[in-house]
Amino acid sequence: MDLRNGLRPLGTTPDEFQRDLLSNLYYRRGTTVESASAQDAYETLALTVRDRLAERRARTAAAHYESNPRWVYYLSAEYLLGPQLEQNLLYSGTTELAPAALKTLGFSPEEVAALDVEPGLGNGGLGRLAACLLDSLATLDIPAVGYGIRYDLGIFKQEFDNGEQVERPDDWAFQGDPWEFPAPDDWQMVGFYGFLGPEGWVPGEVVHGEPSHLLIPGYGTETVNIVRLWRARAARASFDLRRFSAGQYAEAVEEAVRAENISKVLYPDDSTDMGRELRLKQQYFLVSCSLRDIVRRFRFRNADWDDFPAKTVIQLNDTHPTLAIPELMRLLVDEEKLEWEHAWSLVRRTFAYTCHTLLPEALETWPVDMLGRLLPRHLEIIYLINEALLAEVRSRFPGDLDRVRRMSLIQEEPQRRVRMANLAVTGTFAVNGVAELHSQLLTSTTFADFAALWPDRFTNVTNGVSPRRFVRLANPGLSTLITSGLGSDAWLRDLSLLSGLAPLADDPAFREQWRTERRHAKEALGLGDPGAMLDVMIKRFHEYKRQQLKLLHVITLYHRLRDNPERFGVPRTVLFGGKAAPAYYAAKSIIRLINAVAAAIEADPKAYGLLRVVFPPNYNVTLAEKIIPAADLSEQISMAGKEASGTGNMKLALNGALTIGTLDGANVEIRDRVGAGNFFLFGLDTPAAAALRASDYRPRTYYDSDDELRAALDAILSGAFGGVGQEVAHSLLDRDEYLTLADYRSYVDKQDEVAAAWEDQEHWTRMSILNTANSGFFSADRTVADYLSRIWHASPVRLS
């Protein structure tokens, strides 16, 4: 049967769209035009747009079924998808139809659009990368499914109270999510705890994983893929009627609450191990549900396990889903009764692992005791994998006990813990870093022992971002100009075409138009004077990213203008955006100090028209899309050797911001491509920073010898900014783990060059255009193409 025959084609004319909208309002929303609220209109619009994607989805699924392709499965604990409405309008070709239809029904499109809440199911870069890769997979027609967790509460909402970060819950789906398709009948069962009996693992607790999916449309193609998100539910029998009848209401639902807690909240910290059992439960919950789903899908068209690695590649987005490796071993050995060696050979050819960090404290480990209690069979399997690994190490490096100790999946001191990164490297056929420098550092430091054992396993895939979301949707004005400059909008599917803009950098009329669009974006943002340079640092707060360095620069500028306002030079608005993990006190102190400095400058009439600091709260994808088009200067100032890649740096360069940065992460590649003359480089490089760290680093010597630095720190220490932030200054003077003071002078001097360059607007605009023209490499489409040729080896399936 041709599955497509039964589908009603959906209209593409204004009349048809309006008719569908009305019909959905009546039949699916169950209301009328007269009584419909804006929320009704929003949800009805979402359904009407979603239907158009769902029809393509049905055809995609049929084509995939028919071709029985090799699948890419992406496992990620986080997806920072961003707002859905605008994107789905664009991808379904209804951007013009929708507002017109809404208006004829009497609704304001702006009011309706404002109700679109972004699903904040991620922390930052790692979760946004996952979203960009899914977008590009669909755009390149690759059969792919993303798997994740449908957290009830996403990343917290940040507010400021007296300058201090306070966290509010993000109940993003409180009203329901009109974009998702729940499939409660497709549940999977997940076990925890229990014991190992003669028949194998007998779990002591069982929960259901209930899936729902969101549609992931490709751009400029018919393909629509999905991301499948799991939600934990109590197994139905867990309601205790006896207790309920006896008036013990809380006790009656205790088990249900415990089960549902598993998908209750996204952990708001992606860089350190929270050491919480619930997080480990989340990880296993994701892995167990997803693998069963993957196996179920494999079985639609295949019968022989030996075909599994040819039909399936499972990409682990960092170590959070690493339990998939022992879980697949368990399914194959315990449930499918395969021989251990046979199963291991399948597993080793199925998984690949992306590492996202260089911070040793961010390499995940779990206490052996906890893992053994929660997942006794998995711990046993990890021990068996470890035996084989260590046997291989011993035979390759006889007598090298230290190497055996370093490579073991089990850390012995100070506490026995399972090293998830080592497990991920051992159980996969490919391991990649996310920028050239990062991948080099992984094989020379973090995974040096593993690279010596299995050199061919390691590769690099430099991150990228979606040009649809971060240029076309975020910056429609500039996008139109780019399309007119290039004579076509083909760049949206092949971003390397941006290089065609390079000659236009020499065209004064085009430069004028470029400036006009950028000015419009600044006016639309509405923060600060549109004539001032907008200098932005937008990213999670972390000491290694060094917001504190930017802050010292701001204080220095403030001192200069107070001492000598006539000679201040270029007016600037400095914009900070970002959240700190709730328990990361040092980062929260920096936030509080930034807000205090902003207030002091705001209150000083001398600063008026010269310097302003703004810090809009709750940096997320929605806000990123507003700030990035308006930014003139992009701050990428992490201590060299700490930032794996960064993707904010790419978004900003693509939109024509100039970068001031260290040689860290993907900054290195951005500078190579846009040209050293169009990039403001400063600071220690990775070897120099590592050498200084390893020596007897004394931050106070920099304080003693640099008057401006001393003045900035003294101001903080003396309480000049509402008496807050002394702990920030103390920490810099006493320890300065990330070499802020060592890089201060180089940074401030480079900022003076930035200001001088800004004075020549023609030259600045030229550099801006060249940044965009030469950043086409940083498309996530190119990233996916690299994953395909280096790791995934999957082919497109196009709809006829």
Q: How far is the CB of 438 from ligand PLP (least distance, A)?
A: 12
| Shortest distance in whole angstroms from residue 624 CB to ligand PLP | 4
> Is 124 among the residues that bind ligand PLP (CB under 6 A)?
yes
Q: Whose Cβ is closer to ligand PLP: residue 125's or residue 485's?
A: 125
Catalytic residue among 647, 662, 686, 765: 647
> Is the dihedral angle over the CA atoms 52, 57, 63, 65 positive or is it negative?
negative
Q: Tell me whether residue 356 is one of the annotated catalytic residues.
A: yes
Reply yes or no on whether 438 is catalytic: no
Backbone region of residue 337 per phi and psi (left: phi > 0; alpha: psi in -120 to 50; beta: other values): left
Which region, judged by CB under 6 A, interacts with ligand PLP, from 212-220, 312-320, 422-430, 641-649?
641-649
CB of 158 to ligand PLP, least distance (A): 12
Pick 40 or 135: Cβ nearer ligand PLP: 135
* Least CB distance to ligand PLP at residue 63 (A): 32
Residue pair 426/487 in contact (Cβ under 8 Å)? The answer is no
621 lines the binding site for ligand PLP (CB under 6 A): yes
Active site residue 539: yes
Nearer to ligand PLP, 343 or 594 (CB): 594
Burial class (CB in 10 A: 0-12, 13-18, 19+), 720: middle
Edge-to-edge strand ranges of the sheet holding 365-367: 365-367, 417-419, 410-411
- Per CB under 6 A, 620 contacts ligand PLP: yes
Q: Are 660 and 433 in contact (CB under 8 A)?
A: no
Taking the mean position of all CA atoms in its chain, how far away is CA 690? 27
- Of 320, 317, 328, 316, nearest in space to 280 by CA: 320
- As given in the structure block, the two tokens for residue 450 are 């593993």
Sign of CA dihedral 435, 120, 205, 211: negative
CB of 57 or CB of 128, closer to ligand PLP: 128
Stretch that binds ligand PLP, among 30-38, 164-172, 229-237, 645-653 (CB under 6 A): 645-653
Residues 759, 570: contact at Cβ < 8 Å? yes
Stretch that binds ligand PLP, among 134-142, 189-197, 308-316, 620-628 (CB under 6 A): 620-628
CA distance 199 to 719: 68
Q: Which of 228, 518, 545, 592 is catalytic?
A: 545
Instruction: Give me the amino acid identity at 21.
Output: L
84 binds ligand PLP (CB under 6 A): no
Alpha carbons 623 and 539: distance in angstroms, whole number: 11
Q: Is 540 tagged catalytic?
A: yes
Q: Is 618 in the site for ligand PLP (CB under 6 A)?
A: no
613 Cβ contact list (under 8 Å, min separation 6): 554, 573, 574, 575, 576, 594, 597, 598, 601, 602
Tell me the number of residues near ligand PLP by CB under 6 A.
14
Q: Which stretch binds ligand PLP (CB under 6 A): 94-102, 123-131, 239-247, 736-744?
A: 123-131
266 binds ligand PLP (CB under 6 A): no
**783 contacts 467 by C-beta, under 8 angstroms:** no
**How many Cα atoms are found within 13 Å in the side-chain-facing hemisphere of 222?**
14
Candidates 69, 83, 99, 125; binder of ligand PLP (CB under 6 A) is 125
Decide if residue 59 touches ligand PLP (CB under 6 A): no
The least distance separating ligand PLP from the CB of residue 489, rounded to whole angstroms, comes to: 23
Instruction: Compute, in degrees rounded to 10, the torsion defined by CA atoms 623, 625, 627, 630.
Output: -160
- 611: phi then psi, degrees, rounded to nearest 5: -145, 135
| Pick 49 or 624: Cβ nearer ligand PLP | 624
DSSP string, 242-293: HHHHTT-HHHHTHHHHHHHGGGTB--S-SSS----HHHHHHHHHHHHHHHHH
CA atoms within a 13 Å half-sphere pointing along the CA-CB vector of 639: 22
- Counting contacts by CB under 6 A, is residue 128 touching ligand PLP? yes
Q: Can 651 be counted among the known catalytic residues?
A: yes
| Residue whose CB is less far from ligand PLP, 124 or 571 | 124
Q: Does 433 bind ligand PLP (CB under 6 A)?
A: no
C-beta of 419 vs 651, nearer to ligand PLP = 651
Contact status: 438 vs ligand PLP (CB under 6 A) = no
Query: How many Cα neighbours within 13 Å face the side chain of 268?
Result: 21
Residue 46 CB, nearest distance to ligand PLP (Å)? 22
| Alpha-carbon span 618 to 325, nearest angstrom | 36
Q: Round to whole Å and give the CA distance between 513 and 511.
A: 5
* Residue whose token pair is 């006009």: 516
The question of whether 446 is a catalytic residue gets the answer no
Q: Is 136 in the site for ligand PLP (CB under 6 A)?
A: no
Nearest to 644 by CA among 545, 735, 714: 545
- Among residues 356, 419, 468, 469, which one is catalytic? 356
> Which tokens is 95 given?
């951007």
Q: Contacts with ligand PLP in 27-56 (CB under 6 A)?
A: none
Which residues inside 64-83 make contact with ligand PLP, applying CB under 6 A? 80
Does 262 bind ligand PLP (CB under 6 A)? Our answer is no
Q: Which is nearer to ligand PLP, 56 or 320 (CB)?
A: 320
Q: Which 3-state string (H, E, C) describes 640-698? A: CCCCCCCCHHHHHHHCCCEEEECCCCCHHHHHHHHCHHHCEECCCCHHHHHHHHHCCCC
Q: Exactly one of 216, 624, 630, 684 binds ligand PLP (CB under 6 A); which one? A: 624
**Catalytic choice (377, 438, 539, 553):** 539
Question: Which residue, 18 or 775, has its beta carbon nearer to ligand PLP?
Answer: 775
Closer CB to ligand PLP, 648 or 683, in the complex: 648
**With binding defined as CB under 6 A, does residue 467 bind ligand PLP?**
no
In the list 143, 148, 309, 646, the residue contacting ligand PLP (rule: CB under 6 A) is 646
For residue 648, state whether it binds ligand PLP (rule: CB under 6 A).
yes
- Pick between residue 41 and residue 80 the one whose CB is nearest to ligand PLP: 80
Query: Which residue number, 158 or 223, has a Cβ lying nearer to ligand PLP?
Result: 158
Does residue number 154 form part of the binding site for ligand PLP (CB under 6 A)?
no
Site stretch for ligand PLP (CB under 6 A), options 48-56, 502-510, 643-651, 679-687: 643-651
Cα–Cα distance for residue pair 193/177, rounded to 1 Å: 33
Residue 97 or 654 having the CB closest to ligand PLP: 654
What is the closest distance, in whole angstroms, from the C-beta atom of residue 396 to ligand PLP in the complex?
A: 38
Identify residue 60 by its one-letter amino acid code: T
Q: To the nearest whole angstrom, how small is the minimum distance from the Cβ of residue 230 to ligand PLP? A: 23
Q: Does 647 bind ligand PLP (CB under 6 A)?
A: yes
**Catalytic residue (one of 651, 673, 750, 782):** 651
Three-state secondary structure call for residue 713: helix
3-state SS track over 332-373: HHHHCCCCHHHHHHHHHCCEEEECCCCCHHHCCEEEHHHHHH
Q: How far apart are CA 210 and CA 208, in angstroms?
A: 6
668 touches ligand PLP (CB under 6 A)? no
Strand, coil or helix: 300: helix
Q: According to CB under 6 A, which one of 279, 417, 539, 553 is a site residue for ligand PLP?
A: 539
Quick one: three-class SS letters along 741-754?
Answer: HHHHHHHHHHHHHH
Among candidate residues 515, 593, 579, 573, the one with its CA nearest the CA of residue 764: 515
User: Nearest to ligand PLP by Cβ — which residue?
Assistant: 648
642 sits near ligand PLP (criterion: CB under 6 A): no
Residues assigned a catalytic role: 356, 539-540, 545, 647, 651
Residue ranges that bind ligand PLP, judged by CB under 6 A:
80, 124-125, 128, 539-540, 619-621, 624, 646-648, 651
